[in-house]
Amino acid sequence: MGRGNLGRSLARAFRRAGHRVLLTPARHGVQALGRALLSRRRSVVFLTVPDGAIESLAGEIAAAGATPSGAAFVHCSGALGLGVLDGLPRGHAVGSFHPLQSFPEPRPPEAFRGSLVAIDASSDALRRRLQRLARDLGAKPRNVREAERVVYHAAAVFASNYLVALAGEAVELLRAIGWTEREAVAGLVPLMQGALAEVARRGPTVALTGPVRRGDVETVTRHLEALAGLDSSSRRGGGRKADVYRMLGRTALEIAKKAGLDTAAAERVDRALTRDVAATRRRRR
């Protein structure tokens, strides 16, 4: 239920894998679901609606009596536990099935191949069934239980949404020196892909390169001065670019220490990252 980005992608992929699939509307679709389930009592119903709509849709399904025995109900949120399906009558197995992949639009079945799918279920039988379904898509099922879900989902946000946010920051910097967005993206994406390929091959500790990893304090300071200059000349102001650089620089510094950056160099970089370069610039003027 729910003909959005994930719903359409899952429907195509399950069809390709040989399953019988009915893709029904979520809004005003409960009666149709009820009729369909009468002849398909052992169905798994995937509620592929926005996270904030899952609980009320479960309530609507229960109120309409579209819950023949044998049917299981599954949501696809990464952050929510199974409690969001509590509105369904007791006796129904409930679960979650979260593909650790991004679907900004409906994507072809190949999108699931090799991706992880985080699974939880109220019964072992449904857990095993969802694991099989994930494997049918060429994906890798992994149990992620209630208590682990929010941290799991925060990791997903870092790896996906914030990666895009970082790309956006880098593109904006190049736009500030006159590049078009297309030129910036074309220049930066191969760099990002190379860095990611290294993370995949050797893990983040070994993959980290750059001034923080080398303990190159002068370069870090020059970056911060330039970013503070951009921040103060931009209409939004507020030190955003320099702050983002500092925060991520300190994260990179922790990795650099693990990778073997010596203590004295690490302390110098740490001081450079925490120094107020805007105040230093003002004093110099």
Ligand X SMILES: NC(=O)c1ccc[n+]([C@@H]2O[C@H](COP(=O)([O-])OP(=O)(O)OC[C@H]3O[C@@H](n4cnc5c(N)ncnc54)[C@H](OP(=O)(O)O)[C@@H]3O)[C@@H](O)[C@H]2O)c1
| Per-residue x/- track, 238-267, ligand X (CB under 6 A) | ------------------------------
Residues 95-124 that bind ligand X (CB under 6 A): 98-99, 102-103
| Binding of residue 141 to ligand X (CB under 6 A) | no
Q: Which of 11, 33, 37, 49 binds ligand X (CB under 6 A)?
A: 49
In Å, how far are 9, 24, 26, 240 from 32, measured between CA atoms? 21, 7, 10, 50
Smallest distance from ligand X to CB 72, Å: 17
What tokens appear for 169 in the block? 């920051």
Q: Which of 13, 30, 44, 57 binds ligand X (CB under 6 A)?
A: 57
Distance CA 30, CA 1 (A): 9
| Binding of residue 132 to ligand X (CB under 6 A) | no
User: Which residues have C-beta within 8 Å of that of residue 82, sequence separation ≥ 6?
Assistant: 94, 95, 96, 120, 121, 122, 146
Q: Which of the ranges 70-78, 117-125, 216-224, 275-283 carries the binding residues for ligand X, by CB under 6 A?
A: 70-78
Give the orientation angle of helix 161-176 with respect to helix 149-159, to 10 degrees.
30
User: Cβ(105)–Cβ(142) under 8 Å?
Assistant: no
Order of all β-strands in the sheet with 94-99 = 44-47, 72-75, 94-99, 116-121, 140-143
User: Which residues have C-beta within 8 Å of that of residue 274, sequence separation ≥ 6?
Assistant: 246
If the CB atoms of residues 6 and 134 are measured against ligand X, the closer one turns out to be 6
Q: What angle do CA 249, 116, 158 make, to 5 degrees?
A: 20
If the CB atoms of residues 27 and 42 are measured against ligand X, the closer one turns out to be 27
Counts for the chain of helices (H) and strands (E), in that order: 13, 5
If the CB atoms of residues 4 and 229 are measured against ligand X, the closer one turns out to be 4
| Binding of residue 73 to ligand X (CB under 6 A) | no
The site that binds ligand X (CB under 6 A) totals a number of residues, namely 22
If the CB atoms of residues 48 and 67 are measured against ligand X, the closer one turns out to be 48
Q: Which of the ranges 44-52, 125-133, 228-236, 246-254 carries the binding residues for ligand X, by CB under 6 A?
A: 44-52
Backbone φ and ψ of 179, nearest 5°: -75, 155
| Binding of residue 209 to ligand X (CB under 6 A) | no
Give the nearest residue (CB) to ligand X.
4
Residues near ligand X (CB under 6 A) are: 2-7, 25-27, 48-51, 53, 57, 76-78, 98-99, 102-103
